[in-house]
Structures are given as C-alpha cells and as structure tokens.
Amino acid sequence: MKMRANVFKGANKIGLEDRPVPKAGSGEAVVKVTLTTICATDVHIMKAEYPVRVGQIIGHEPIGIVHELGEGVTGYKNGERVAINAITPCGQCGYCLSANWSQCGGFLGGWKMGNTIDGCQADYVKIPNAMANLTRIPDELSDEDVLFTTDIFSTGLSGAESANIQVGDTVAVFGQGPIGLSATAGAKLKGAALIITVDTIPARMKMSKQMGADITLDFKKVDPVKEIIKITNGRGVDVAIEAIGLQESFENCVKCTRVGGAISSLGVYPAQLGTIGIPLQDFGYGIADKRVVSTLCPGGKERMRRLIW
C-alpha cells in the first residue's frame, strides 16, 4: 500500500513521492492524516537552515484518524479522531521525568516527526510512544478548531510560560506571525497588563490587537526599542518575547527588557548565523539579572488535553 509524502530533497528542494504506508510497531500507532500545517520550521528545513537528512518526510503538526495500533497500545481504537503535538515525548526517560518533555532523550530529542523520523506531511504518519501522545478530539470540535494546539499555539503559550509572566507585567512580543500571535495571546492569558507587539504587516498588526495587544509598533516606521523605553517611562518591559529568529530582534529584546527581566526566545535561528550575540552593555555586562530562556514547546497528551479544553 502506497501513500503520498512531502520529502526533503536538498536545499530548496522538496516534492511529493510515493512511499509505503508505515506499519505500527510495539508501542506505536499509525494515523491517517486529515489535516496538518506548514510550519516556519518546515521553511527553515527546506532552505537547509535546519539540518535533516535528504529523503526525510517533513511536517510535525498532525490531526488525523487512528489507522493502526501497535502491540501494547490500549485505550484507543481504529477510527478515532486524534491530535498529536509536534513534540512526542516518551514520558519515561530522565528528561521527561524532570518535566523537560521537549528534550526527551537528550538534545532536542522530543521533536521527532520531520526531524529524526518521518513526519506528517503525508497520507499516514507513524507516532512513537503512542500511549503518551495520542489525544482524542471531542466530537463537538472540528479538526480546524484544534489544529494550532499541535504546535503553534502550544509554542507561543510556552514562550509566555517559560518567561514566568506575572499578573500586571508589561510584555513586548517581537514578530506577529502565527507563533508571535500565539505568544501575544499567551501573555494575555498569563495576566499581562500591557502588551506591546512589533511587526510591519498590517493584517498581522490588526490580528495582534484581536489576540490581546494593547499597542502595536511598525518597526519600519519607528525604532521599536526607543518607543518601548518611552512607553514604559524608561523602565523597560518585564518580559520580551523573540518570535522571529533574527539577531536584530533578539538584540532588541535584550535592549528593551528591564533589569531583572526575562528574554524569552521562541525563534528558530538559521544555522548559517553561526552564533547569536548579546549586546553586553544592554545585558548589564552579565550582572543585570536579565534572564534568557529558550523554549521548544512541551508535548504529550496531557499538554494537548489542556490546550484543547
């Protein structure tokens, strides 16, 4: 039995191929994909800015129907609608048991689909550790209703969670693509009192207001750092979230964050950058108590249950 699959073929080369439908091994499930997304990370992969092997099926944000259950997978049945997070932790290793689900097994290990195993931009996808990662979709919700919980909203929210936003905080979010918009919504949900967002695309800036932004800044018209410092009466924001993956926006986050504040990094930085630099004066030469946190969204069915409900 064959299926269609979107395959990485080298820098700036992807395309459909016929591949065998995967079989479920012990602890695994095969899901028939009904809906998925194109993530910005997929674009990085296509451009060879993030390394995966040639021949890899890409994609990591699936909604689908259970097609086959491997040995040891119980409590599910064929035909059930399920959502699967981009991060598929085992739930048993030291990292998972220390609540570092996204780093399951070690460095970036929780992100398997489309990274270290074949992904979900295909008719069928094999899900590892299925008992920990299949989340039933309530009948009253459509596939579209829950699609963004598989990565985009989960990641944006986790950027706000990792920064430990407190009720009453002032927050800046650089970039209002899907992840940045989700970070804006996450900041609102965490209780931020003032949210300042930075972008230049009118439709995104309009949506930003709908997601919770109080002030939007067009970086092509104003210097966002100067404006943020002005808005906060010279203090800076409590939390700045970087949701683009650029040196300039990362530096701007450092510059506009108050002493003792947090910089939450959500962007995927292209490997070609080599390094990401920190402006030392704005970082207080390392002694201003500014905290930098990076986030790969947590996964697993409990995370998904919470996001869906």
Q: Are 72 and 27 in contact (CB under 8 A)?
A: yes
Q: How far apart (Å, rounded) are the C-alpha atoms in residues 142 and 155? A: 21
- pLDDT greater than 90 at residue 255: yes
Share of the chain above pLDDT 90, in %: 91
**Residue 275, pLDDT score:** 86
276 CB neighbour count, 10 Å cutoff: 15
Please identify which residue in the block is written with the tokens 């073929």.
9
Residue 121 contacts residue 114 (beta carbons within 8 Å): yes
Return mean pLDDT, the chain: 95
Strands 81-83 and 124-127: unpaired
CA distance 76 to 68: 10
Q: Which residue has the higher pLDDT, 189 or 275?
A: 189
Integer Cα distance of 205 and 211 in angstroms: 10
Res 257: pLDDT: 98
Q: Which tens digits make up the pLDDT trace of 46-87?
A: 999 889 999 999 999 999 999 999 999 999 999 999 999 999
Single pTM value for the model: 0.91
- Residue 186: pLDDT over 90: yes
Residue 273, pLDDT > 80, answer no
- What mean pLDDT do residues 87-112 have? 94
Q: Specify the range with the lowest mean pLDDT, choosing from 13-17, 46-50, 167-171.
A: 46-50
* Per-residue model confidence (pLDDT) at position 288: 95
DSSP string, the chain: -EEEEEEEEETTEEEEEEEEPP---TT-EEEEEEE----HHHHHHHTTSS---TTPBP----EEEEEEE-TT--S--TT-EEE--SB---S-SHHHHTT-GGGTTSTTTTB-BTTTB--SSBSEEEESSHHHH-EEPPTTS-HHHHGGGGTHHHHHHHHHHHTT--TT-EEEEE--SHHHHHHHHHHHHTT-SEEEEEE--HHHHHHHHHTT-SEEEETTTS-HHHHHHHHTTTS-EEEEEE-S--HHHHHHHHHHEEEEEEEEE-----GGG------TTTTGGGTS--EEEE-----SHHHHHHHH-
The yes-or-no verdict on residue 187 having pLDDT over 90 is yes
**How does pLDDT run across 114-165, given as a tens digit for each residue?**
999 999 999 999 999 999 999 999 999 999 999 999 999 999 999 999 999 9
β-bridge partners, 171: 195, 239
DSSP string, 141-155: S-HHHHGGGGTHHHH
Percent of the chain's residues with pLDDT above 70 = 100
231 or 267: which carries more pLDDT confidence? Answer: 231
Q: Which domains does the chain have, with CATH numbers?
A: 2-150 (3.90.180.10), 156-294 (3.40.50.720)
What is the model's pLDDT at position 309?
A: 85
